[in-house]
Structure 1
Amino acid sequence: MIDKVYSRPIIPLLISMICGIFFGDAVPGCMVWAYLLVSTAGGLIFCSIIFKPFLKKDFLFPIILFFALGYLLIQPWTSPHFPSNHIIHFTDSNKLKIVGTIDQSVEKNKHRQKFILCVETLEKNNKKFCATGKIRVTVTGDEPVLSFGDRISFTAKIKSIRNFKNPGGFDYKRFMAFKSVFGSSYAHEEKVTVISKSQDRVMRRTISNVRCRVSTFIQKKGGGNHQGVLKALIVGQRQQIPQALRDAFNRSGVGHLLAISGLHIGIIASVAFMIFSWILSHFKLFLFNAWVKKGAVILSFVPVLAYGLLSGMAPSTQRAVIMVGVFLMAFLFEKEHDLMNTLALAAMLILIVHPPSVFSISFQLSFAAVLSIIYGLTKVYKRQAFFSDGLKKSLFTGIISKTFSFFLVSFFAIIGTLPLVMLYFNQVSLIGIFANFLIVPIIGFIVVPTGLFSVFLYPVWGEAASWFLYISGVALSKAVGLVNLLSDLPFAAVKTVTPSYFEICCYYIMMWALLNLKRRMPEISETEKSNFTRKAARVLAVVVVLAFVGDICYWLNVRFRAYLHCSAL
């Protein structure tokens, strides 16, 4: 039993890395100790591999190694080293002539252009010197037309990033620091000069131009009264969505549809896989070599990647593309894979590339939802398998089964993200399951696929592209009408208190315990492991219930006292 290989080795390593990232954020600057842990743990792992007869394999060493690696990965953001010419040393001073290159796509909204500028030089008192660092720039006015890669100059002050100092408010300073942005500037359009248009980074500039053309195409030909929503679903531009409509989506529990994430990418991958599987099944070469599904997997990643690039590859979209890519690769190699391990691998790759992602709301919500869906469905279908054995599946039974599965996906996604939604948004939709049941099929399987298909047709057949975009707009209008209807219900959503981290942990422990309490079937013999899991679930359920009782008493005696607490700023 000791030497038995752990069935899901990536999960404890991922948890250890995440703990190291959180510890590195809370206690930064101890890099010497972290490097010592890495070298020690790495050396012990190497010895255990070389001297197998003498040293037993111990999983503690990899846990320590990944904890230290997580700590080191986050240090460039939590304990950065600024050179003497970094822009942070010139904030809150006099005006400077700033020269730099636009480092991301320009956000245009209400006669303003916002972008991240990678600073190259600063000029003060007619003295020019090289500088490094990134600043957030806001240009008032529509001219000059700026785009990614442009080299510009303007004169303005560099202001330091500050928080609003509201107790418990959003930490904007840390949010921008995780983007490596440590200053902000404001300039009028008349003071901005375009030195040169980008000649390098051809790929990124081409993608940016394509996004602008698609946005213009949607503006002229489709979307009806909801062009802002269609732009958000196709090219990831949410600036034109009215706040009232955003609130309606959130009250209905379908606000996640406005941000391109795992749901959108997953639907595109599924639709593409079905289409390519059907096409390749008509070729004998693929049938004889059993390459129908493999070929469909490879081809399915093309529209997935194209959709991700077209939508701007926002952080949530990047994570979704990586996650879907990992799932497709696992399917391609025809290995018997565990979905939990695959999900953990996707999360680990994302955190290695960008460790601050673990603090992102979208990262937490995405992986909490997918984890809850995978684990919940696994438990439900293991119990359901006993009843389905030996039963013939009719068409009606198949439809009921698919409908039930769709309901379970929405159910587990909602309960898996419930405490995080309460923590960040203080609002919970009471009709979320019902609303997702109606809205997700319309937007996911009609609006987005037909909209994307019209985009692909636009360069070669404009008339057909306009027709498909019209279909997408009509379906979107129906979906938005349903959203408005549901959000107007008086019981659609309720405001909630902000749960503590202790309460969130108790909630997830209770969910795990409830899913593992019941025995699968009396007729099925239990293994030692499953019996231990069920007993542990019972114990934890009792402990969590007692903890909740104590927490309720705390609420009644501390939180809900009739005192007014004032914060003077």
Structure 2
Amino acid sequence: MFSRPLVPALCSTIIGILIGHNILTNINLPVFLFPLVILLCLGIIFIIPLKFPLFYLMAVFMLLGINTQINRPVLSGLPKVIHKNEKVVIEGTIYRPPKIRFNMASAPIHTEKIFFSEKVSKVKINLLVKLYGYNGGLKVGERIRFPAKLKEFENFNNPGNFDYRFYMLSQGLSFMAVVSDGRYVVPMGEGDLGLVGKTLEKVRGPLRRFFKERLSHTSNPIYAALILGERQGLTSKLREPFDRSGVGHIMAVSGLHLGLVAWLFFKSLRWLLSLSYRLTLMTEIRKFAAIITTLPVIAYALLTGLQLSTQRASVMVLVFLWSFIIGREKDVWSSLSLAALIILALKGDALFSTSFQLSFVAVAGILWLVPLIIQRIPKFKIGNESFKGSQILHPILTYTLGLIAVTTAAMIITIPLIAYYFHRFSIVAFPANLTVVPIIGLWVIPLGLLSSITLPLSSTLAGFLLSLGEFGLDMAISVVHFWSNIPWSSIWIIRPTLLEILLLYGLLFLSLNFNRSRIYRLFLILILIVFFIDIGYWVYKVRLNNNLRVTILDAGRGNVSLIQFPGKKRMLIASNAFGYGGFNLARMVVAPYLWHEKIRRVDYIFLTDPQVQQTEKLRFMISNFHPREVFSSFSTERMVGRVKIKGSNTEGITITYRGWSFLFYNKKVQIEKESPEGGKEWPKYLIATEEKMLRSSSFHILNIDQTGALTITIDSDGNLKMKGFLKKNLNVVITD
């Protein structure tokens, strides 16, 4: 640890970010307080001689992590306008191409002015404009003015759901501006992208048009994503085969792309420079090649628009290149820690982003596991004498073995995180990555970059290079379709908890170090015990449940409730959730909650609208949760696990258990208990999913927008407990 101080410094920074994010979130401290404390600690370290300065440096980095989480003020006036749902007029400049779906478009803009009812405010924030009735015409760099309603980004507040609000804020977008009619958008001429943005758009604009003219309908959006970092044209239909085969990550520019570009240029430059005998004597070829390689890496990052994932990847690649230049290439863990420190110092919230976690965990896994994997293949070691003398077989063997080792290491180390964030595992990911990544990284991207470089010189040459690249891309797409069309190539899986992820990584580490020390073996036994206790807990909760549990999900305009009967049977009640068009609630809301609860089967699905039985959303639910029945009415009263069920799609559905009745009807759920004459008066609850439904005097009213997913539990004695996802203090307990 003392020989690599950057590693504990990174750990301290991460601890500081977690403290600031989870503990000091609601504490308003002066912005200058933590920087002042950091400077004071640095002064103590360097002025006063200390016996253990590393621990004081760790304290400084912890304060640095806390400092990244200090709340910054929000533009005054906007929250009031949002809550009143008032219209304002907004003026700003489009800085990325619009994403178009049917007659709706969305595009981010640099907002410059907001016209309120009585004043005009000059602002500098980014908004996401959602435009209905779009008829084309929006261009990057154009200033527009339009009337809109400002809205905050909102999540579906259910356990296990994607944090959409955090994702949009991490992209630098503060609010959403909704425009009801595209005819109200007024072009105002050329906008202000800044010096860097304007210069980049002069390069990216012609390339965007060039790709659109020369490439097919399928190749254009993929090439735009790989070269320009613009993923707006990637539809779900286009992405699905890549996701099924486990190579969806190649569609977003990341460390893989920049790393392959750096590796290709570094190898090529080192070979070219080695041809000069004079240069070989005058300088160290490897360092000189690494210095020159930084230029194409920076150029590629700029060409992709310097989006957040690209910024992180470029920092990582440049740090590793400079480790070659200063002669510290063997200290890979310090290089990785330095790259992470730079990124977290610039933006502490990056720690919570999926791309940051996957990128750094994958690289850490490669650095850790690749040497172990190569050591365990003695017959094919790179130094094997039977191949070492061959100028053809040895490089091929080296590349193949390295690719297999890197792919294996990256897959093993990222499986828990992929399961946590995406609930999906591709069985064919290993062979798919081995066959697709080399084509994309060593053929498609280099030819695309060469085409971009030669376009200002010769459009004919650029078109020829691009056509060669498209040929390789078509080949890669064919390979992707081959792997994705294999039955069961991809499976949806339950979501591990954070504890289970830590246990899995602990099992991996201790298993690989089983023979090193007795303490490792003891910890391995301890982790196995905790792991089996965790499995037992979930088996008891999911399959040996003795209570009735009703969970009303936050599903926006839809209404979805999960009934978990005593025992292991379950029923899903859905209204306006699995119909045609609109947001995919089945895949993005309902399924993630079920996987979070370790539920892989739903026995019954009750639909209030029988016409939705042929939709893709419902087919997704049926194929992944295997219900015994899908129906919209009960011909007779049923009993499931001592619970009575009756109703239809017109009258609603009623379930009764231990005197309590639940009526699911018309975007609301009524909960009440039968009271004998002259007996105790029991409280009654009305749970609504829309504001206009909140009108009742005899019911205690709860709004799903305020509580989040609401779980009501009734035990075998008839006692009721109620718990909200957002309101943790909503501890309603009713007992006899």
Instruction: Answer yes or no: same fold by TM over 0.5.
Output: yes
Within a 5 Å distance, the mapping from 1:76-115 to structure 2 comes to 79-85=71-77, 87-93=78-84, 95-102=86-93, 104-110=95-101, 112-115=104-107
Q: 1:62 aligned to 2:53?
A: no
Q: Deviations over 1:298-335 (max 9, x none)?
A: 22122212211222222111111111111111111223
| Structure ranking higher on relative contact order (CA contacts 8 Å, 6+ apart) | 1
The residue aligned with 2:451 is 454
C-alpha spacing 1:50/1:106, structure 2 compared with 1 (3 Å): same
Q: Quick check: 1:223–1:469 contact (8 Å CA) kept in 2? A: no
C-alpha spacing 1:230/1:561, structure 2 compared with 1 (3 Å): farther
Following superposition, the deviation at residue 14 of structure 1 comes to 0.8
Following superposition, the deviation at residue 394 of structure 1 comes to 3.6
Q: 1:496 aligned to 2:493?
A: yes
Q: Deviations over 1:230-264 (max 9, x none)?
A: 22222222232342331211121111111111111
Q: 2:294 aligns with which of 273, 297, 301?
A: 301
Q: 1:549 aligned to 2:532?
A: yes
| Further displaced range: 291-300 or 258-267 | 291-300
C-alpha spacing 1:394/1:560, structure 2 compared with 1 (3 Å): farther
Contiguous gaps of at least 5 residues in structure 2: 555-736
C-alpha spacing 1:123/1:171, structure 2 compared with 1 (3 Å): same
Structure 2: distance between partners of 1:120 and 1:176: 19
Identify, as 1 or 2, the structure richer in helix.
1
Residue identity in the other structure for 1:72: N
Structure 2: distance between partners of 1:279 and 1:171: 48
Residue identity in the other structure for 1:505: L
The residue aligned with 2:429 is 432
Q: Quick check: 1:223–1:476 contact (8 Å CA) kept in 2? A: no
Within a 5 Å distance, the mapping from 1:113-192 to structure 2 comes to 113-125=105-117, 127-131=119-123, 133-140=125-132, 141-148=134-141, 150-187=142-179, 188-192=181-185
Following superposition, the deviation at residue 465 of structure 1 comes to 1.6
The residue aligned with 2:551 is 566
Following superposition, the deviation at residue 557 of structure 1 comes to 1.0
Following superposition, the deviation at residue 427 of structure 1 comes to 0.8
Within a 5 Å distance, the mapping from 1:146-295 to structure 2 comes to 146-148=139-141, 150-187=142-179, 188-198=181-191, 201-223=194-216, 225-295=218-288
Following superposition, the deviation at residue 545 of structure 1 comes to 1.5
| Further displaced range: 500-509 or 388-397 | 388-397
Classify the secondary structure of the residue corresponding to 2:486: coil
C-alpha spacing 1:170/1:273, structure 2 compared with 1 (3 Å): same
Q: TM-score, normalised by structure 2?
A: 0.68
C-alpha spacing 1:349/1:371, structure 2 compared with 1 (3 Å): same
Q: 1:15 aligns with which of 3, 11, 18?
A: 11
C-alpha spacing 1:564/1:246, structure 2 compared with 1 (3 Å): farther
Residue identity in the other structure for 2:481: N
Q: How many residue pairs end up in the alignment?
A: 544
| Further displaced range: 151-160 or 122-131 | 122-131
Residue identity in the other structure for 2:113: T
Following superposition, the deviation at residue 504 of structure 1 comes to 0.3
Contiguous gaps of at least 5 residues in structure 1: 519-530
Answer with 1 or 2: which has the greater Rg: 2
C-alpha spacing 1:254/1:536, structure 2 compared with 1 (3 Å): farther
Q: TM-score, normalised by structure 1?
A: 0.87
Residue identity in the other structure for 1:320: A
Q: Quick check: 1:435–1:486 contact (8 Å CA) kept in 2? A: yes
Q: 1:470 aligned to 2:443?
A: no
Q: 2:503 aligns with which of 506, 509, 514?
A: 506
Q: Quick check: 1:88–1:183 contact (8 Å CA) kept in 2? A: no
Please give the root-mean-square deviation of Cα atoms over the aligned residues, in Å.
Answer: 2.9
Following superposition, the deviation at residue 374 of structure 1 comes to 0.5
Residue identity in the other structure for 1:17: T
The residue aligned with 1:517 is 514
Residue identity in the other structure for 1:549: F
Structure 1: distance between partners of 2:165 and 2:382: 55
Identify, as 1 or 2, the structure richer in strand.
2
C-alpha spacing 1:481/1:44, structure 2 compared with 1 (3 Å): closer
The residue aligned with 1:317 is 310
Structure 2: distance between partners of 1:496 and 1:208: 42
Following superposition, the deviation at residue 48 of structure 1 comes to 4.7
